[in-house]
Amino acid sequence: MANLLYPASTGHYVDDKFSPLVEPNLFAGNVFQPGISFTDKYQTGPAGQIFVHKPGTGTVTATAPGADFTETIVGDSLITISLNKQFNRARKVYGATVASVAYSVAAAELETALQEVKAAWNIEAASAIVDADGIRVATNVTTVTASNDVYDTIVDARQALRALKANPDTILVSPTVYGKLLKADEFQRSVQLDNEVVRDAYVGRIAGLNVFEYEDLSSAAGDLTNINGGTADITWQAGTDELEFIVYDHDALSIVTSVNVVGIFDGMPRFNGIDAEVEMVSGFKLTNASRAILKIHDYSATENLT
């Protein structure tokens, strides 16, 4: 960095000084919150994996009054939630750096490490829905727009889940779809809601669903090579196609965590300095694929909400 000279070429050199403030990095929102966009009800204590019993169901047929009971055995099944995903970050800072800067480098490094882990953790949570066996997919050769039924498309997805007797209450949308929701005519029917949308860019709820704008939604999609059981329903092309939204019942997305460490640790005797460390070990599971549906913009597919 060149020293400044005032006046130029004939004056005095000025001293350099670094601001004690730090420009924040940009991260996607922490959209997964317990009891709101996922459930942690299966977090019952120390475990490497958790088995959840799912009772079987049968049908009952009406009979004449006074008829005897018909005995039957309806088997159950087991759902496995494995705590098999580790997220960690250790940001190393030498002692010479700590002693030579005007800002709290330890706090800044720890905050950044925490944000990095949270970003990866949120992507994995969304991926648990996308990668679930038997996940239902809505595809369309035309992306949703404010003028071509973004609201109707969301209602159709909700309807597909309600037909399966699911109770969807949450939708994750890409920034593109969220922007189109803000422009949708449906939000002009209420003066109060209209003011909130225009003034605060806040959708809140739509069609009985809590709306979460998630900037990393496409990252959760991966390449989608095995989606829908590997059928030909989706011909995913990364960078071209888009995961536009996920509608689901938050109680069907289970997340459990066994390790959660956040701290600043002395680097000695390995090195003179500090480590800002964050670690989490979690398990993610969509416990019932009939309680979630994806909307994908696939340039070579046709609409399929079943």
pLDDT tens digits for range 197-241: 444 445 578 888 998 999 999 888 865 654 544 444 566 677 777
Cβ distance 203 to 146 under 8 Å? Answer: no
State the total domains in the chain. 1
Q: How far apart are CA 95 and CA 99, in angstroms?
A: 6
Count of CB atoms situated within 10 Å of the CB of 250? 22
Residue 14 lies in a domain: no
**Which class for 40: exposed (0-12), middle (13-18), buried (19 or more C-beta within 10 A)?**
middle
pLDDT in tens, 3-36: 676 567 765 565 555 556 555 656 677 889 888 8
Residue-range definition of the domain harbouring residue 273: 49-55+74-297
pTM of the model: 0.79
Structure tokens at 251: 């109680």
Q: What is the pLDDT of residue 198?
A: 47
**Highest averaged pLDDT of the listed ranges 18-27, 91-100, 164-173, 224-233:** 164-173
Q: Are 28 and 218 in contact (CB under 8 A)?
A: no
CATH number at residue 233: 3.90.1690
> Could you tell me if residue 232 is inside a domain?
yes
Lowest mean pLDDT among 13-17, 66-70, 90-94, 235-239: 13-17
Three-state DSSP at 55 gives coil
Q: Quote the CA–CA distance of 299 and 140 in Å, as a whole number.
A: 7
Residue 6, in any domain of the structure: no
Establish if 179 belongs to a structural domain: yes
User: Would you say residue 82 lies in a domain?
Assistant: yes
Task: Using CB atoms within 10 Å of the CB of residue 262, give its burial: 0 to 12 exposed, 13 to 18 middle, 19+ buried.
Answer: middle
The answer to whether residue 17 sits within a structural domain is no
